[in-house]
Structure 1
Amino acid sequence: MSATSALLLRSATVVSTRDGSHSPATDVLVQDGVITAVGPGLTPPDGARTVDVTGRYLVPGYNDMHAHPLGRGGDVAATLELMLVHGITGYRQMSGDLDLLKARASGDLRFPAASPALLAMPGPLLTMLNTATPEETARTVRDQVAAGADFVKSAAMTKERFFDAQAEALRLGVPIVGHLPGGIDVLRASRLGMKSIEHFGSGLGVLACCSTDEHAIQRAAGQGQRLKLPKIRLPFLGGVVDRVMGAVMRRIVLNPVNLNKPEDVALVDRAVRTYDEERTRELAEHFVADGTWHVPTLIRQRTSKLCDDPAFPADPDLRYISRATLKTWNGAVATFRKKFGPEQRATFAASHRYEYDMVRVFDEAGVGMLVGTDSSGAVWVVPGAALHDEIDLLAEAGVPPLRLLRMLTLSAAEFLGTTDSMGTVEPGRNADLVLLAADPVEDAAHLHGVVGVVRAGTYHSERDLTAAKDRLAAARAVD
């Protein structure tokens, strides 16, 4: 893989992410990582690298809008490169810490050349550990915003503290995104400005709102959401509490479904049995009116709720995963099988099927949606490759090819407010691009045919991508 200050992609078919129209035999000139000209018969400057891409379809680079490549251990550089060679040129980091934010602010947060762009990042996740009181909640949010957080993310917190965090974040002009606490008034959170709901809220989340028995289910879900922490944080207890919460979060990352108790599964079953599409449609209309986005992460939902599906350990993309990680994932499967009987597993599978219905209804209603995977660390979710799994699942749910292309590209830019620099193949946009072998508007499966990637002006050919994948797989084989 090589870089030059100027690159000319000759005779591409440029696909518009706005309306799906095609501009065949179009040249794209890139200088210093930015698209400077788009049109037929362009003359490159002296010394420019020219690549003939006749017959290829050119689109903006893909964006994984829910990923965790930073801060979860492992080989970060390898994870980032694995994402890039699968066509991901940008990602929204969904967990962070104050040190990462400070390093970014000072210019000390550096990444390898073969890496997607970090598009946005929060501070530490909001949990019951750092949001015990209204005052602590507000202080936690202020500290993150002061350190440069692009958003704050709700994880394991109570519904009361969620609204405290939301109020403080919005007061400071920073969006709140993430999970929905059990029993929360979802429409209130949406109306007050929740920017994006991840994994349909996680847990019961949005599914409860689609039930004709919503209020009773939400009341029950709101009970038992308190983590029993000491009211007085004595010095010798601090480390114990931190370790306990850290262990809980690691289990949530691996497979949150395994944390369910029998009463939790019973509530999911109740929501499944009372699911109503008309209520789902009404909910979607509220999300549209409020401007609340969704990142379904169907692949994450599938691998969590169908954890013991024999197709997962047979996935050829596991060649990119270390033996240590596979051992951990197989341990999660063993827990899943031991903890849940056939009826409970059937309940999880049914709830997942309704998530496809929610995606379809949301899409038809015009709810803003983004593509995300929840890699790295989640059971059976392979960084990079999982984005293509997500494409297939969204297509299975009924999302049309053009809408999928937009979700991967222009919608991400609209969500971030960066349409002047990404999301389209136009002058002035960052030179983060994907070359496809076939028309992505014709068939969603064609979004998998990545035969070239341009990242910040550096061209990675199909041969380069294949060689990198083989190298990354070989490295994992000896881990």
Structure 2
Amino acid sequence: MPLSLLGRGKTRAADAEHSHTHAAPEQSPELHFDGVTVVDPRDGSKTPGMTVITKMGRITAVVPTASKRPANGAKTIDARGKFVAPGYNDMHSHVLELADPSGSLALMLAEGVTGFRQMSGSPALLAKRKAGTLPIGKAAPQLLETPGLILSPFNAGSPEAVREEVHRQQAQGADFIKMAFANPDCFFAAVEEGRRLGIPVLGHLQEGTDPNEATAAGFRCVEHLGPGSTMWVRCSDDEAALRAESYSRDLIKLPPFKIPFLQRIVMKRLQRLLVNPSAFTKPEDVDRLRRAIDSFREDKAQDMAGRFVADGSWQCATLVRLKTQTFADDPAYQQDEMLEYLPAKNVKRWQEVTALWKSKPDDFRRAYREAYPRQLALTKLLSDAGVRMIVGTDGGSYLGPGLTLKQEFGELADAGISALAMLQMATVNAAAYLHREDTMGLVESGYDADLVLLDADPTARVENLHAIAGVVRGGFHYTRRELDGLKAEVAATRGYLH
């Protein structure tokens, strides 16, 4: 595998339709994957003995093996004993925060990720995408969507300001508006303005907001089961008092006068906070979360889930993110397989924030440890109720160990989610979320040639979802050996252990 595949470069034309780029086309060869079992993620059905033919970034045919002879110059891959499924989509990533994201993108590709939703952006990122100059090389998933600047007190300090920012970001070319930090009044002003302009608003529910009021107003996707106490307050027997308390909580306070570089200073601090938000949580917020969970009522949770279904809203739980925050002091993370690939500065920052987490009082950390199994149970309740769900990791930007799709699948399995349901979250659900059901999420003629080849049936057990024998991205085939080569190069050139 040439080292240049990890280099920075323009997005390929195969991504242009979805990423609004104008990169020069690069033709992928005609490939015939012979003898493979085709998996339909809609119902888990499997069709053995098939040949999947791809050319120029598209699946051109799915036919019984030996029923169609390869054209001159076509390459045949012996896929007997393998299963083929659509490529996975990591629908919560921050990989493009890095100046050179090629290493993280290669790691994502190696675990079957062929598309990602970027969850943080900027005017500069949007401009680069428009110009086709994003630093995304060949060995990378495609960018599916990206926002502009996250909403914060700097651009969402009042309902008037947030409406202006939503309009501004739509004009800049954002696919959606990412809600991060705002008071409830600004939160709903953003959702209403987004609905008026036809641009989705999604991200974090704000403390003091009712999740069902948010999704009824048009809030498209809830990330991280909230985060915080919002969904738990909705399901509490003491909902009114807890919501009133959370409504009045303090946000980031800005001085009444302008300070040069203040936003840059605060955003730098936020980078540290994002390593583990739980380490920076106020004791009163932890106490409210504990009280909300202790007063949980299942009938209220079922009602909440039913309303999510009726609203057509989405959930991206990122359980692996919640777990790494909660159990940051677990010695297992000191031996996590991701450490081999993390830059030294990121490991140092993660260790510093973890030391802060360890210094918290025992009852503070215990509240989170006791909450995590309940978060798993809530995820299962939402899934069983038919709430639409996609899968994400909150990784991709070297925040710390433990943020991989493989580990997210493991957490979903611990929650009781079936392997088939996980496959759906990563494929057909992502396509439906993006309104791309005609081009993504299935192994059928006319669909994107973004595929995972697997050594075992991905619907049978969670481990099979990452038994990856190869990946096809935009019609280009990467063998297991080549994927391992990409990982080795990341470790050798960027990794903490080297």
Q: TM-score, normalised by structure 1?
A: 0.95
CA drift of 1:5 comes to: 2.1
Match of 1:365 among 385, 398, 402: 385
Contact 2:333 2:402 survives alignment (8 Å): no
SS in 1 for 2:209: coil
Aligned position for 1:246: 267
SS in 1 for 2:423: helix
CA distance in 1, matches of 2:467, 2:37: 15
* Segment of structure 1 superposing worse, 118-127 or 221-230: 221-230
CA distance in 2, matches of 1:373, 1:277: 27
Aligned position for 2:24: none
* Segment of structure 1 superposing worse, 168-177 or 39-48: 39-48
Q: Where do residues 55-454 of structure 1 align in structure 2 (5 Å cutoff)?
A: 55-73=81-99, 75-232=100-257, 234=258, 237-240=259-262, 242-338=263-359, 340-377=360-397, 379-382=399-402, 386-454=404-472
In the comparison of the two structures, how many residue pairs are matched? 471
Contact 2:85 2:453 survives alignment (8 Å): yes
SS in 2 for 1:39: strand
CA drift of 1:477 comes to: 4.5
CA distance in 2, matches of 1:252, 1:291: 32
Match of 1:54 among 62, 80, 83: 80
CA drift of 1:216 comes to: 1.3
Contact 1:435 1:450 survives alignment (8 Å): yes
CA distance in 2, matches of 1:65, 1:38: 27
Contact 1:8 1:30 survives alignment (8 Å): yes
CA drift of 1:478 comes to: 6.5
Contact 1:293 1:367 survives alignment (8 Å): yes
Contact 2:28 2:57 survives alignment (8 Å): no
CA distance in 2, matches of 1:420, 1:248: 42
Distance 1:308 1:402, change over 3 A: same
Unaligned runs of 5+ in 2: 3-26
1:133-173 CA-partner distances (Å, limit 9, x unpaired): 22211111111101111100100111110111111111111
Contact 1:7 1:48 survives alignment (8 Å): yes
CA distance in 2, matches of 1:24, 1:325: 45
Aligned position for 2:22: none
SS in 1 for 2:460: coil
Contact 1:151 1:176 survives alignment (8 Å): yes
Letter in 1 for 2:279: N
Q: Is 1:463 aligned with 2:492?
A: no
Contact 2:41 2:423 survives alignment (8 Å): yes
CA distance in 2, matches of 1:231, 1:290: 39
Contact 1:439 1:446 survives alignment (8 Å): yes
CA drift of 1:11 comes to: 1.1
Letter in 1 for 2:88: Y
CA distance in 2, matches of 1:215, 1:313: 42
Distance 1:396 1:164, change over 3 A: same
CA drift of 1:249 comes to: 2.1
Contact 1:178 1:197 survives alignment (8 Å): yes
CA drift of 1:301 comes to: 0.3
Identity among equivalent pairs (%): 38
* Segment of structure 1 superposing worse, 154-163 or 98-107: 98-107
CA distance in 2, matches of 1:287, 1:332: 35
Contact 1:356 1:394 survives alignment (8 Å): yes
Q: Is 1:31 aligned with 2:55?
A: yes
Letter in 1 for 2:215: S
Unaligned runs of 5+ in 1: none
CA distance in 2, matches of 1:300, 1:178: 14
CA drift of 1:275 comes to: 1.8
Contact 1:60 1:425 survives alignment (8 Å): yes
CA distance in 2, matches of 1:107, 1:468: 24
CA distance in 2, matches of 1:443, 1:227: 44
Contact 1:30 1:36 survives alignment (8 Å): yes
Q: Is 1:16 aligned with 2:40?
A: yes
Letter in 1 for 2:139: A
Letter in 2 for 1:409: T
Contact 1:332 1:379 survives alignment (8 Å): no
Contact 1:34 1:429 survives alignment (8 Å): yes
Letter in 2 for 1:354: R
CA distance in 1, matches of 2:314, 2:396: 22
CA distance in 2, matches of 1:427, 1:381: 38
CA drift of 1:353 comes to: 1.3
Distance 1:393 1:143, change over 3 A: same
CA distance in 2, matches of 1:54, 1:214: 56
1:15-73 CA-partner distances (Å, limit 9, x unpaired): 00111111101001101010010011222221011101100000000110000000244
Contact 1:55 1:437 survives alignment (8 Å): yes
Measured on the aligned residues, the alpha-carbon RMSD in Å equals: 1.6
Letter in 2 for 1:37: A
Q: TM-score, normalised by structure 2?
A: 0.91
CA distance in 1, matches of 2:471, 2:271: 33
CA distance in 2, matches of 1:378, 1:460: 23
Distance 1:283 1:378, change over 3 A: farther
CA drift of 1:276 comes to: 2.1
SS in 1 for 2:389: coil
